Chains A and B, each alone.
Chain A
Amino acid sequence: SQQGEEDPQALSIQEGENATMNCSYKTSINNLQWYRQNSGRGLVHLILIRSNEREKHSGRLRVTLDTSKKSSSLLITASRAADTASYFCATVDYNTDKLIFGTGTRLQVFP
């Protein structure tokens, strides 16, 4: 079952620009997580935002959560070539209590 879906599927920007990725989900959640995956590597946890939070920051990352619209966004400011990766949102399916990952946004940052 697909809980989260990211938009866009792919994004290409120049270094220094901001990158925004969106995630929509279907059911009520306790929290939402964002992960990064470099090509051929495992996922790395970036940030967890709880359902009672609207915005959270971590370095150059800003995550927002709108539970009324069942959506979240991940903003990477002043992007770098090293930010090139796929980004996934993940939420828990209440029926199964398992973490469900979206299909990801592939971000390419050109130097």
Chain B
Amino acid sequence: DGGITQSPKYLFRKEGQNVTLSCEQNLNHDAMYWYRQDPGQGLRLIYYSQIVNDFQKGDIAEGYSVSREKKESFPLTVTSAQKNPTAFYLCASSIYPDPSNQPQHFGDGTRLSIL
């Protein structure tokens, strides 16, 4: 079955530590996205990638970094510069980078907490 796989499901970060969240898709989608969701709130865009080896900052990119070396993979690193990283992180993809007309497919998220 095609889909998006996020791992791990739960992740704990120590002070000063960088952590990387994995996102893999086998849908052959061009565009991939990372969102942050805080309790009771909507999704906020962190980074997005329209094509391999290219990515752009979203609304809340500070303290995060990404790479897109393969079409299937879009890992997100939460750096020590992100002072409030506790949140639910969602990865999504769409067949084309056309958010107005293309539905986005989501993984089941990674819940990141501070130790």
Contact = CB atoms under 8 A, between A and B. Distances in A.
A43 B92 CA distance: 9
Nearest to B56: A98
B41 A103 contact: yes
A40 B99 contact: no
B106 A30 contact: no
B103 A45 contact: yes
Contacts, number: 55
Interface residues of A, number: 23
Interface string A30-52: 11010000001111110010000
Interface in B44-63: 45, 48, 58-59
B46 to A, nearest CB: 11
Contact of A40 (B58, B100, B109): B109
A41 B88 CA distance: 10
Among B43, B45, B48, B58, the one with the most A-chain Cβ atoms within 10 Å of its Cβ is B43
Nearest to B58: A98
Contacts of B29: none
A38 to B, nearest CB: 9
Nearest to B4: A42
Interface in B30-44: 40-43
Contacts of A102: 42
A42 B101 contact: no
B7 interface: no
Contacts of B108: 40-42
A31 B101 contact: yes
Contacts of B109: 40-42
A58 to B, nearest CB: 12
Interface in B1-43: 4, 6, 40-43
Given A43-B90, A92-B100, 5 more contacts: A29-B100, A31-B101, A43-B92, A43-B104, A44-B106
